[in-house]
C-alpha cells in the first residue's frame, strides 16, 4: 500500500520532507498528476501531494507579472490572463491528450518540466518566463530565488535550475512568472508540397526576414490528411506553416510580404484566426499522435539538422514525424513497444548534436531505457552533484530523470 501526504502549509512540508530524510523514504512529488507519465516511473512510492499550494496571489497586468501557487490549474491562469488580453507567451502545451491525463495540469507542472509550445522560437521557453520561486529543498529547508521583477541578477539563477528539474530538487510552494500581451490577430501562411529539406529552408527564410514569425512547423502528408482544418486536410501533400501574430495592420502587412517571399516555392494559402488557433494547438499539443499507442520521442536539434534525422530514421516501423520550431523540435512516433527504437534515435541525434527525450511509452520501457538523453560523464557527474546539493538523501523523486537523479 502506498500513502500520500498532502501538507497544507510550508511548515508541514518541511516536517514531511525532514521525516522522509530520517526514514530514507523516497517521495513521489506531484501536483495534479497529469505529467506522472513523463520521466521515469515513480509508482509504488509514498506520495507528496502539493495541491494545497494553489491559487493566484498576485496579478499586475501592467507590470507583466503573475504569482501563484504551483498547483494552480493552468486553465485557471490562462482564463484570467485572457480576460486581460494577456498570455503565457511560451505557449505551454497541453499534453493531456497524448499522455492520457484528464486536463492540462498545473502551472507548477509546466515549469517543473520546462514545457514550451510553438512560440518558443520567438518568445522563449518556459524557463525564460519563470521569474522566481519559494520551495522546500530535499534537505527540508526553505529556499527561494529570483523575485517578482523582470530583471534580476542577484545570486545564482536557481529558477533556471528548478525549471525542468521534474521535482527532483525541491518542492515548490509559490512561483512568479512573466506574462505578456496576447496578440490582437493571428494568421498562418501555408506552403504545400515541400519535402523536409525544402521546408526547413523555407521556414528559415521566413524567420530570417523581418516578419516576426511566431510559429514555424512542417507536417507530412500523412498527418495533413488527418487534420481537422479543411485547407490542410485537402492539401494533398505536406504542409509547411508559418504563424504571424500581433496588431491588425502589422499582421496584414507581414503576411502579404511573407506570402510574396514564399510563393515561388509552391502553392500558398492563408489560415485566419480560428483555423490558425486550431492548427497551432494541434502542433503544440502533439495531437497527430494522440489517438494511437506508438512510442513518442521529442527530439531537440539545430533546425537544419532535422532533415538528416528524419531520413536517418525513415526506415523505422510505422514511423511518422513532424517538425516545430523551424525544425529544431521533431515529434516522432514509432511502433517499437519493446525497445522504443532508442538506439537508432539516439545514434541519429548523436551524429549531429542535440538530445532526444522519450515522451510517451509504457512504464516498463521508461524503466528500461534512458528517458532523458544520456550525458557525457563529466556532465552526468555535475548533474548528480547538483541533485545531491539540494537533496542529498534522494527523497524527492529520486530516479525520475536518471539513475540517482
Which of positions 73-102 make contact with other proteins (CB under 8 A)?
A: 85
Q: Which is nearer to other proteins, 229 or 246 (CB)?
A: 246
Q: How far apart are CA 16 and CA 171, in angstroms?
A: 11
User: Which one of 81, 158, 191, 194 is in contact with other proteins (CB under 8 A)?
Assistant: 158
Binding other proteins (rule: CB under 8 A), the pick from 372, 394, 396, 398 is 372
Site membership for other proteins, residue 192 (CB under 8 A) = no
Taking the least distance from each CB to other proteins, the nearer of 140 and 321 is: 140
Q: Is the Cβ of residue 121 or residue 296 nearer to other proteins in the bound state?
A: 121
The minimum distance between CB 150 and other proteins, in angstroms, equals: 4
Find the binder of other proteins among 16, 174, 177, 239 (CB under 8 A): 16
Interacting residue with other proteins among 33, 160, 226, 231 (CB under 8 A)? 160
Query: Is residue 151 near other proteins by the rule CB under 8 A?
Result: yes
Question: 97, 193, 209, 362: which one contacts other proteins (CB under 8 A)?
Answer: 209
Q: Check residue 390 for interaction with other proteins (CB under 8 A).
A: yes
Packed helices 196-207 and 248-262: angle between N→C axes, nearest 10 degrees: 140
Q: Smaller CB distance to other proteins: residue 311 or 350?
A: 350
Closer residue to other proteins (CB): 17 or 74: 17
Question: In angstroms, rounded to a whole number, what is the distance separating the alpha carbons of residues 218 and 348?
Answer: 20
Task: Count, in order, helices (H) and strands (E) of the chain.
Answer: 15, 18
The count of chain residues that interact with other proteins, using the rule CB under 8 A, is 107
Binding region for other proteins (CB under 8 A) out of 94-102, 185-193, 222-230, 372-380: 372-380
Span 29-68, contacts to other proteins by CB under 8 A: 52, 60-65
Q: Which is nearer to other proteins, 224 or 329 (CB)?
A: 329
**Interaction of residue 71 with other proteins, rule CB under 8 A:** no
Cα dist from 63 to 82, 130, 178, 246, 374, whole Å: 16, 15, 9, 20, 40
> Residue 12 has which C-alpha cell?
508541514
First to last CA, the chain: 24
Q: State residue 97 phi and psi, 5-degree precision.
A: -60, -45
Q: Which is nearer to other proteins, 107 or 112 (CB)?
A: 112
Single out the residue of 75, 161, 265, 312 in contact with other proteins (rule: CB under 8 A). 161
Of the pair 212, 335, the CB lying nearest other proteins is at: 212
Cα→Cα distances 233→186, 219, 222, Å: 20, 11, 9
339 binds other proteins (CB under 8 A): no
3 touches other proteins by CB under 8 A: yes
CA distance 232 to 254: 21
- Looking at residue 20, the DSSP 8-state letter turns out to be H
Nearest to other proteins of 62, 83 (CB atom): 62
The 10 Å CB-count burial string (b at 16+, else e) for 269-300 is bbbeeebbebbbbbbbbbbbbbeeebbbbbbe
Task: State the DSSP string of 207-234.
Answer: HTTTT-EEEEEEE-HHHHTT-SSHHHHT
- Using CB under 8 A as the binding rule, the residues of this chain from 243 to 272 that contact other proteins are 246-247, 249-250, 252-254, 257
**Member of 30, 37, 120, 342 binding other proteins (CB under 8 A):** 120
Q: How far is the CB of 33 from other proteins (least distance, A)?
A: 13
39: left (phi over 0), alpha (psi -120 to 50) or beta: left
What residues between 210 and 229 interact with other proteins by CB under 8 A?
Answer: 210-212
Q: Judging by DSSP bridges, how do beta strands 239-246 and 213-219 pair with one another?
A: antiparallel
Q: List binders of other proteins among 273-332 (CB under 8 A).
A: 300-304, 325, 328-329
C-alpha cell at 25: 523514504
Tell me how far, at minimum, the Cβ of 63 lies from other proteins, in Å: 6
Indicate the residue among 337 and 392 with the shorter CB distance to other proteins: 392
Nearer residue to other proteins within complex by CB, 33 or 127: 127
Closest distance to other proteins from the beta carbon of 234 (Å): 31
In angstroms, the CA 119 to CA 215 distance is 5
Residue of 403, 404, 395 lying closest to 29 (CA atoms): 395
The answer to the question of residue 347 lying near other proteins (CB under 8 A) is no
Name the pairing type of β-strands 170-178 and 185-192. unpaired
Interatomic CA distance for residues 103 and 307, integer angstroms: 33
Amino acid at each position: 500500500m502506498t500513502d500520500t501526504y498532502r501538507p497544507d502549509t510550508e511548515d508541514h512540508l518541511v516536517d514531511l520532507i525532514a521525516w522522509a530524510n530520517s526514514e530514507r523514504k523516497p517521495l513521489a512529488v506531484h501536483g495534479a498528476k497529469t505529467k506522472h507519465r513523463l520521466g521515469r516511473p515513480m509508482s509504488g512510492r509514498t506520495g507528496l501531494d502539493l495541491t494545497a499550494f494553489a491559487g493566484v496571489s498576485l496579478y499586475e497586468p501592467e507590470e507583466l507579472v503573475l504569482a501563484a501557487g504551483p498547483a494552480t490549474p493552468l486553465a485557471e491562469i490562462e482564463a484570467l490572463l485572457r480576460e486581460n488580453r494577456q498570455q503565457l507567451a511560451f505557449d505551454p502545451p497541453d499534453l493531456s491528450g497524448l499522455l492520457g491525463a484528464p486536463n492540462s495540469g498545473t502551472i507548477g507542472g509546466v515549469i517543473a518540466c520546462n514545457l514550451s509550445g510553438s512560440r518558443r522560437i520567438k518568445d522563449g521557453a518556459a524557463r525564460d518566463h519563470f521569474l522566481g520561486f519559494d520551495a522546500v529543498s530535499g534537505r527540508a529547508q526553505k529556499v527561494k530565488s529570483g523575485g517578482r521583477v523582470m530583471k534580476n541578477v542577484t545570486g545564482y539563477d536557481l529558477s533556471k535550475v528548478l525549471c525542468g528539474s521534474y521535482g527532483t530538487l525541491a518542492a515548490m510552494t509559490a512561483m512568479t512568472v512573466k506574462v505578456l500581451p496576447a496578440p490582437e490577430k493571428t494568421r498562418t501562411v501555408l506552403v504545400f508540397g515541400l519535402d523536409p529539406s525544402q521546408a526547413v529552408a523555407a521556414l528559415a527564410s521566413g524567420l530570417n526576414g523581418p516578419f516576426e514569425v511566431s510559429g514555424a512547423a512542417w507536417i507530412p502528408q500523412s498527418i495533413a490528411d488527418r487534420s481537422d482544418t479543411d485547407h490542410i486536410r485537402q492539401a494533398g501533400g505536406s504542409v509547411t506553416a508559418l504563424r504571424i501574430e500581433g496588431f491588425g495592420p502589422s499582421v496584414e502587412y507581414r503576411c502579404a510580404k511573407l506570402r510574396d517571399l514564399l510563393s515561388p516555392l509552391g502553392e500558398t494559402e492563408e489560415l485566419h484566426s480560428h483555423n490558425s488557433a486550431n492548427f497551432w494547438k494541434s502542433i503544440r499539443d502533439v495531437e497527430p499522435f494522440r489517438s494511437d499507442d506508438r512510442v513518442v520521442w521529442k527530439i531537440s536539434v539545430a533546425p537544419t539538422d532535422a532533415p538528416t534525422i528524419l531520413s536517418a530514421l525513415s526506415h523505422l516501423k510505422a514511423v511518422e514525424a513532424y517538425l516545430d520550431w523551424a525544425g529544431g523540435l521533431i515529434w516522432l512516433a514509432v511502433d517499437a513497444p519493446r525497445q522504443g527504437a532508442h538506439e537508432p534515435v539516439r545514434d541519429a541525434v548523436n551524429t549531429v548534436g542535440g538530445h532526444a527525450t522519450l515522451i510517451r511509452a509504457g512504464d516498463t520501457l521508461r524503466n528500461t531505457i534512458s528517458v532523458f538523453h544520456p550525458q557525457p560523464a563529466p556532465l552526468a557527474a555535475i548533474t548528480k552533484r547538483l541533485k545531491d546539493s539540494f537533496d542529498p538523501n534522494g527523497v524527492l523523486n529520486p530516479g525520475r530523470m536518471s539513475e540517482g537523479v
